[in-house]
């Protein structure tokens, strides 16, 4: 171990990378993260809804087990930071979903059947009942549902607390290394430099220097695929899904505008309002696969228009920030999370020293605790076989006639082996 700089180096210090680094540090490992600007990507934009129930989408039902598991971990994850939940921006207030017109009402009712089919509690409300909970909701809504277990966290605060917690671990454990390396990583260092299947022994930084590490976790979102030293055969099919998001300040006479998170469908288009303790409200979010990374005038217009349909007083708020960021999307909207095989054929072992954790799409904040826990279990060699279906090499390896993302991975021919390897 003398040759190594740290036990674990995490490439990318968004919310997921920071969560992984913190959880690894708690396990007694020495840790560093590498990021020129921590927590300024999708983490900076994200609303932070912890909403496995209302986030359930039709073609993403295989994600539900993962999102529910992560939501269940959140209270303990926040508690591990040693601050009050409010200091990490964690709020266990409810979510109310609402529809604007008759078609939106039917869509939400259909979705509720799917939610109930998975045993999730979604309570119908009359508009009067919804407005008793949230008086500033529009009286013109077509439908409303109460979802008690969908909560929220402020990703900017949580990221700041995670960085502080890692700083604290560094002090407590008298780390002598720089654990917050403000550079880009350009490649992986391998035991046998020309062999991408050989053990990963660290990362190469933009300035040409190296951080030696027992394990490297690649958690730098959309940039993961550009990292040098990944196997040629490995496809990390990440695509940017751009979104605009708005921060509003509620003037004193309208506070609190809301206590619950409001998620609406307005003529089929989703929009949400997430109230923060500091008197601001997050209004999001558009989704576009094409176009530019800049804030879209049409997107901002649509968000402000639709938010006013749900909560007319939004017109009276102060607009304090408009941000656009890219979410790292994948073909099945599920993350690329786990170890990587050392070759495209079967059977294969995993490349030692390498874990990938990216592609969290809309779910990065929600999935941070489970990603951190799963990475820790991978480091410990005790990984939960259920999450093998999210392996990052699932789009690259021969799968016979199976689609990459199986609805019933437990019964697929390769799963037992993959589980065993995890």
Interacting residue ranges for a copy of itself, rule: CB under 8 A = 246, 248-249, 251, 291-292, 294-298, 300-301, 304-305, 308, 314-320, 322
Kindly tell me which of 79 and 321 has the beta carbon lying closer to a copy of itself.
321
Name the 3-class secondary structure at 369: helix
The per-residue DSSP string of 308-361 comes to: HHH-GGGGGSEEEEEEEEEEEE-TTS--EEEEEESSSSSS--EEEEEEEEE--G
Supply the minimum distance, in Å, between the C-beta of residue 400 and a copy of itself: 44
Kindly tell me which of 92 and 308 has the beta carbon lying closer to a copy of itself.
308
Q: Cα dihedral angle (316, 317, 318, 321), rounded to 10 degrees?
A: -140
Kindly tell me which of 244 and 393 has the beta carbon lying closer to a copy of itself.
244
Supply the minimum distance, in Å, between the C-beta of residue 317 and a copy of itself: 4
Q: What is the helix (H) or strand (E) element at residue 161, kind and residue range?
A: helix 155-172
Nearest to 8 by CA among 32, 26, 28, 27: 32
Supply the minimum distance, in Å, between the C-beta of residue 258 and a copy of itself: 14
| Encoded tokens for 128 | 């009067």
Supply the minimum distance, in Å, between the C-beta of residue 288 and a copy of itself: 11
Supply the minimum distance, in Å, between the C-beta of residue 276 and a copy of itself: 16
Whether cis (ω within 30° of 0) applies to the bond prior to 256 is yes
Kindly tell me which of 24 and 283 has the beta carbon lying closer to a copy of itself.
283
Locate tokens 């959140």: which residue? 74
| Contact status, residue 83 vs residue 355, Cβ threshold 8 Å | no
| Encoded tokens for 333 | 């909207």
- Long-range contacts: 416-421, Cβ < 8 Å, 24+? 417/346, 417/347, 418/385, 418/388, 418/391, 419/385, 419/386, 419/388, 420/385, 421/339, 421/349, 421/350, 421/388
Q: What is the helix (H) or strand (E) element at residue 70, kind and residue range?
A: helix 64-79
Supply the minimum distance, in Å, between the C-beta of residue 323 and a copy of itself: 11
29 vs 261: CA distance, rounded Å: 37
Supply the minimum distance, in Å, between the C-beta of residue 69 and a copy of itself: 37
**Residue 62 gets which letter from DSSP?**
G
Supply the minimum distance, in Å, between the C-beta of residue 307 and a copy of itself: 8
Name the 3-class secondary structure at 36: coil
Kindly tell me which of 103 and 319 has the beta carbon lying closer to a copy of itself.
319
In angstroms, how far is the first alpha carbon of the chain from the final one? 24
Kindly tell me which of 217 and 250 has the beta carbon lying closer to a copy of itself.
250
Supply the minimum distance, in Å, between the C-beta of residue 340 and a copy of itself: 37
Kindly tell me which of 235 and 303 has the beta carbon lying closer to a copy of itself.
303
Kindly tell me which of 312 and 385 has the beta carbon lying closer to a copy of itself.
312
Kindly tell me which of 77 and 242 has the beta carbon lying closer to a copy of itself.
242
């Amino acid at each position: 171990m003398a040759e190594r700089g740290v036990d674990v180096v995490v490439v990318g210090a968004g919310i997921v990378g920071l969560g992984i680094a913190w959880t690894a540090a708690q396990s007694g490992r020495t840790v560093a993260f590498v990021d020129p600007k921590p927590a300024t990507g999708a983490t900076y934009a994200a609303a932070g809804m912890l909403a496995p129930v209302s986030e359930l989408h039709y073609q993403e039902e295989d994600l539900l087990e993962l999102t529910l598991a992560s939501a269940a971990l959140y209270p303990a994850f926040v508690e591990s930071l040693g601050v009050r939940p409010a200091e990490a921006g964690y709020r266990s207030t409810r979510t109310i979903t609402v529809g604007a017109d008759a078609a939106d009402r039917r869509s939400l009712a259909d979705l509720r059947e799917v939610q109930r089919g998975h045993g999730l509690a979604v309570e119908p409300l009359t508009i009067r009942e919804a407005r008793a909970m949230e008086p500033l909701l529009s009286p013109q809504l077509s439908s409303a549902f109460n979802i008690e277990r969908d909560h929220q966290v402020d990703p900017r605060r949580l990221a700041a607390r995670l960085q502080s917690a890692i700083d604290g671990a560094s002090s407590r454990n008298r780390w002598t290394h720089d654990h917050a390396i403000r550079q880009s990583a350009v490649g992986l260092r391998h035991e046998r430099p020309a062999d991408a299947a050989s053990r990963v022994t660290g990362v190469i930084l933009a300035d040409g220097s190296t951080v030696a590490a027992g394990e490297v976790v690649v958690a730098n979102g959309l940039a993961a695929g550009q990292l040098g030293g990944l196997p040629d055969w490995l496809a990390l099919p990440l695509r940017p899904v751009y979104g605009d998001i708005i921060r509003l300040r509620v003037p004193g006479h309208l506070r609190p505008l809301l206590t619950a998170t409001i998620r609406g469908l307005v003529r089929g288009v989703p929009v949400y309002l997430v109230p923060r303790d500091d008197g601001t409200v997050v209004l999001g979010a558009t989704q576009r696969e094409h176009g530019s990374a800049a804030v879209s005038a049409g997107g901002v217009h649509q968000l402000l228009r639709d938010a006013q349909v749900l909560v007319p007083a939004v017109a009276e708020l102060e607009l304090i920030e408009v941000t656009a960021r890219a979410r790292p999307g994948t073909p099945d909207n599920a993350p690329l999370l786990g170890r990587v095989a050392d070759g495209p054929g079967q059977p294969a072992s995993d490349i030692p020293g390498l874990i990938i954790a990216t592609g969290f799409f809309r779910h990065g904040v929600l999935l941070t605790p489970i990603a951190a826990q799963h990475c820790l279990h991978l480091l410990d060699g005790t990984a939960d076989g259920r999450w093998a279906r999210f392996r990052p090499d699932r789009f690259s390896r021969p799968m016979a006639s199976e689609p990459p993302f199986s609805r019933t991975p437990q019964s697929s021919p390769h799963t037992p082996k993959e589980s065993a390897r995890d």
